[in-house]
Structure 1
Amino acid sequence: MTEEINKAFDQLQSGNTILYPTDTIWGLGCDATNAAAVAKIYKLKNREESKALICLVSDIEMLKRYIEEIPVAAYKLLEIADRPTTIIYDNPVGIAKNLVAPDRTLAIRIPDDEFCQKLIRKFNRPIVSTSANIAGQLTPKSYKEISAEILKGVDYVVNLHNEKTTSKPSTIIQLRSNGEINIIRA
């Protein structure tokens, strides 16, 4: 695993894209603070930049560096969540502008996956995590289902867990600064 973390780290440092296993599904990733790298992900997915992407952070401390004000409900939600949970926060800071939604929000998850955790900690910045498919196509449930277009389009494919069938995507909950809570995906 260490070798794969180092290779993925080098790619992220260079502004490149990676295909990697997460705690939910196979993801396309890059440095979430690098607008040029984020643009590569949108292009590869053939996705409009107005449709925001999720990013991953290693822990609450890293989350605090990229969200202006974390709602109290987020701490409680993350503490009790029994499955992967992505929270959409208001007013992200220090993130690539093309990763932030038009309404000034950003979806962030803290993954419960050893590879992701170690990679993000080593990189010390958030990484993009979006499904490894072309926009409009089905999300692959395993590495074998990832299209040749995606496999050829990324700069590096992490060679771990290729046999694993993924779990379902994360729950997505929006927590607005005004206290409003919306369940986007249960």
Structure 2
Amino acid sequence: MEEDIKKACEIMQKGGIILYPTDTIWGIGCDATNPDAVKRVYEIKKRTDSKALIILVDKESKVEFYVEDVPEIAWQLIELSEKPLTIVYDKGRNLAENLLAEDGSVGIRITKENFSKKLCDRFRKAIVSTSANISGEKSPVNFGEISDEIKKAVDYIVSYRQEDFSTPAPSSVIKLGKGGLIQILRP
């Protein structure tokens, strides 16, 4: 695992794209602050950049670095959530502009899974996390379901957990809006 983390960080520092296991499914990742790398992720997925990408971080303090104003309810949701939770916040900052949604919002998940948490900690910046599939196609549940097209398009494929055939569920997604508005996008 340590060698995978070291190599993945080196690749992302150079603007490269990785294929890696997360707290939910396998993801395509890159430096979330690098607009050229983010653009490549959209190209690999054949997805328009009007559909925002989410990011992974390893601790709560990083949420405050990437969001202008974190509503108090977010901390309660994070604390109470028993499964992976992606929260969409207004006014993302310190990220590649082409990663944000058209309204400037950003989806952030604090990962608790061992590999992705260590990867985020070692990289010291937010990492893009989007499903390892072409846009519109079924999301692969485990490494064996990832298409060769995706595998050939990335710069590094993490070895860790390739033999794991469990079927993790996607994260819940909640949007926090102005005035305390809470919108459940995916239960």
- The aligned counterpart of 1:99 is 99
One-letter code aligned to 1:151: K
- Specify every segment of 5 or more residues in structure 1 that has no aligned partner in the other structure, as ranges: none
> 1: CA distance between counterparts of 2:92 and 2:124?
17
> 2: CA distance between counterparts of 1:57 and 1:166?
22
- The aligned counterpart of 1:109 is 109
- The aligned counterpart of 1:27 is 27
For residues 122-141 of structure 1, the aligned pairs below 5 Å read 122-141=122-141
Say which SS state the counterpart of residue 129 (structure 1) adopts: strand
Query: Does structure 1 conserve the Cα–Cα contact (< 8 Å) formed by 2:56 and 2:129?
Result: yes
- Specify every segment of 5 or more residues in structure 2 that has no aligned partner in the other structure, as ranges: none
> 2: CA distance between counterparts of 1:174 and 1:94?
20
> 2: CA distance between counterparts of 1:36 and 1:179?
34
Normalising by structure 2, what TM-score?
0.98
> 2: CA distance between counterparts of 1:182 and 1:64?
20
For residues 104-183 of structure 1, the aligned pairs below 5 Å read 104-164=104-164, 165-183=166-184
Normalising by structure 1, what TM-score?
0.98
> 2: CA distance between counterparts of 1:109 and 1:134?
22
Query: Does structure 1 conserve the Cα–Cα contact (< 8 Å) formed by 2:132 and 2:150?
Result: yes
Q: Provide, for residues 9-31 of structure 1, a one-character-per-residue CA deviation record: whole Å limited to 9, x for no partner.
A: 10110100000000100000000
> 2: CA distance between counterparts of 1:145 and 1:173?
27
Q: Cα distance, 1:177 vs. partner?
A: 3.3
Structure 1 runs of 4+ with >6 Å offset = none
Q: Provide, for residues 95-135 of structure 1, a one-character-per-residue CA deviation record: whole Å limited to 9, x for no partner.
A: 00000000110000001111111111111100000000000
- The aligned counterpart of 2:2 is 2
Query: Does structure 2 conserve the Cα–Cα contact (< 8 Å) formed by 1:26 and 1:166?
Result: no
One-letter code aligned to 2:148: A
Q: Cα distance, 1:178 vs. partner?
A: 2.2
CA RMSD between the two structures = 0.7
Say which SS state the counterpart of residue 19 (structure 1) adopts: strand
